[in-house]
Amino acid sequence: MSAPKELLRVESLFCERDERVLFEGLNFSVGQGEIIQIEGPNGSGKTTLLRILSGLSGAYDGELFWKGEIISSARIDFLSNLLYLGHKPGVKTILTPVENLRALMGMRQNINDKQIHEALEKVGLYGYEDTPCHNLSAGQHRRVSLARLYLSNDALWILDEAFTAIDKAGVKALENLFEQRAGQGGTVILTTHHELQLKKGFRKITLGQKQELQPSELLMEGA
């Protein structure tokens, strides 16, 4: 089996916070159709790494490449192919779930209300489509955000603790979605405290280690 086509590459990445080194000499590449879990103890820099990979933080040394090109030179193409979901759901509480998704997704791709309603049903928000989000719980706000995954055709998903406040059925549905997306050539990079149960396997990149990560140290799980 041939190696997946490289999408994102990290070279000699260094980052420190409050005079404490989070990671240094970090090297890895991510190919099309891969699922990558970033793991490590609390404070090891998992969220920081995702923010760097997403272009939200420039507080690092080293190089990032997108499709073989330095990411600063390919920024427009990179951002137009990226969906990032962080700790905060990014929901406007004055808007309904449908209105939020129209605003969040409509600028990126053609989308209609039928697709939005189907996505909201898949995340357990059937019947809440037109309820102002200030009347919904924090967990329901999270589900509005996760509905974006059922609408997105972006090449790269970067997800920080995607399973937060999601029940077992929702977790399984997301795992199935990740595998489906990878099967279509999409790439998923995520952090989670949940033990992933994926049929086709995934790679782990572990932070909090002093030594430089080599390809042999990227663990394969579930294969």
Helices (H), 130-220: 138-146, 168-183
Report all structural domains of the chain as residue ranges with CATH numbers, in order of start: 1-81+154-223 (3.40.50.300), 90-151 (no CATH)
Q: Where are the beta strands (DSSP E) in 18-111?
A: 20-31, 35-39, 61-66, 69-70, 82-85
Amino acid at position 12, single letter: S
Burial of 32 (0-12, 13-18, 19+ CB in 10 A): middle
pLDDT tens readout for residues 24-74: 999 999 999 999 999 999 899 999 999 999 999 999 999 999 999 999 999
Q: What is the pLDDT of residues 71-123, one digit of tens each?
A: 999 999 999 999 999 988 999 999 999 999 999 998 888 899 999 999 999 99
Give the residues across from 160 on adjacent strands: 191
